[in-house]
Structure 1
Amino acid sequence: MPSLSRLAPSYRLQHLSAVVLVGLQCLIAVTGAVVRVTSSGLGCPTWPRCTASSLVPIAHSGIDPANTWIEFGNRMLSGVVGVVTLIVFLLAVLAKPRRNRQVMLAGVMLLGVVAEAVIGGITVLTGLSWWIVCVHFLVSPALVWLSIVHLRTIDEGDAKPRWLLPLPLRGLLVALSVVFTVLLIAGTLVTAAGPHGGDARSPRLPLPVASLTQLHGDLLVAFLAMLVALGFALRAFSATRQMWRRYWTLLAVTLIQGLIGFVQYLLSVPMALVVVHVIGAVVVTASTAALWCAARDRGPRLGAPAPEAEKLDAQQV
């Protein structure tokens, strides 16, 4: 009988599973947007069953079969996300040596996926009330962020975290992340008041869309201004190459996201652009999380080689 040490997962397996989880967390946010713009939120009108009498889609009065299958497909993808998250958690528990931070992050993500499923059920049972739809969406970027941090944890050591930025720049990075969070919340409010609520009968947020859109746009301008300021500060500080790569990626995807949002508004929020805009929001979330991770160092993971490029970066700090 093999010993427990021989059952310990390899670094490659842990890394691959973490990458797959990042992709799935991003994908489930996008498929949720597809459900909303196609008015498929009540394609399965009950939960956890699809209908009162069936766990899987069956023909039922007043609902287009396409809407039923879109909603059911999203639920099935949620199940896949749950299974992969459970696997990631088990791999963290079985790892030798076991790393408490990795186990904790994987455990929190597992609880988050369970919470997301429960919130999704409440969303259906309340007839897609706008406030619970907002909460349901906001859990997704939080899980995307955690999955990026978890992936970083696998690739780094367990030394005490060392900031690669001076205190004022840390404060700017924290403020940037807070503004981004508020920006996401404002975006969900725009959707809550707009035409894409998941079903034509779902209650909408009784506020003017134009005012909410203006707020959302102002927050984007503030986020971009802080991002540009951070760029100048990083240049003065001589940041590492990894941090610069993450910074330029974040700046590029944020500019593209802003352009998509502007065109979306001019064209009266077409369905396809709503989905593209959600894809952009997920990418910006992942890029912001990646920049956050690059701002701290915990040393190399156990047994990892130390590339010359990383040594040069460390000497620049």
Structure 2
Amino acid sequence: MRAARIHAYGTIDDIRFEDVREPVIGLDDVLVRVEAAALNPMDNKLMAGYLKDFFPLAFPYTLGTDLAGTVVATGALVAGISPGDKVIARTDPTAGGAFAELAAVPARLVARVSPDLALASLAGLPTAAGSAWQALFEAAAIRPGQSVLIHAGAGGVGSFAVQLASLAGAHVTATASAANLDLVHALGAKKVIDYRHEDFAAISPTADVVIDTIGGETLERSLGIIRPGGKLIGLSAPFDTEAAKARGIDAQFLFHQSDAGRLAAVAALAVEDRLQIVVGRQFPLADTIDAFRLLLKGGARGKILVRP
């Protein structure tokens, strides 16, 4: 089979497309024929070695964690999943394996989905929707009626966070580029701020919760609009929380952790047509490098997919 692999830590120019042996599944694994896999910022951090203290990679390493596809085989101890089932999954980051024609995934990391849904777009769910769910409901514990500001509301995590916060009864404000204002309104935001031409720190309502996927200056300036006792959840990179604590703000960096129950919950919302998956671009597997270039450029609308 074909796979996008790296043989050492490096840059996107070090990605190689190779013919490799099909994965051998263990007793509690499933083998999935990949319909699509989604890029995440973490993929680039893993490739560059920024996360090697947490997720050391064994080389050669097949890239990608988020996938959707069809089960073709199951291990002897797998129950509840059968060949022919449509599934989504997030592999362990140290294992990777999504950017390939076939992927072996522990059954505990797999969620079945309706065969009636467009399977490819579901690859965009696991990390992005899971991160949004974790940030809003587990870290921030948002409640109906609260004011929530979501940065990059048209992005992978942001587009899900806008929808989930709106479904939870929060009053959602989001930032986005001018080209994406209508999209973010349609996803459920009551107010959308064009971050390139408007100062969100000056015109955003006071927020009970800020979900930040950008970091840096955007995160720092968000402190000024959070009420005392409010929460700042940063997903881009670890940051100094002391300035927030000095203002009486509960600030934390959130690193997404796979959870089958959370994955099933977001999949159920998609099945019920209550959660829209925004797909910006799709690339064939052989053009994975171009997909990464678009990801690194920033400002992508929704999720970027590769299609084996």
Q: Which has the higher contact order (CA 8 A, sep 6+)?
A: 1
Structure number with the higher helix fraction is: 1
The alignment's TM-score, normalised by the length of structure 2, stands at 0.26
TM-score w.r.t. the length of structure 1 is 0.25
Asked which structure has the greater CA Rg, the reply is 1
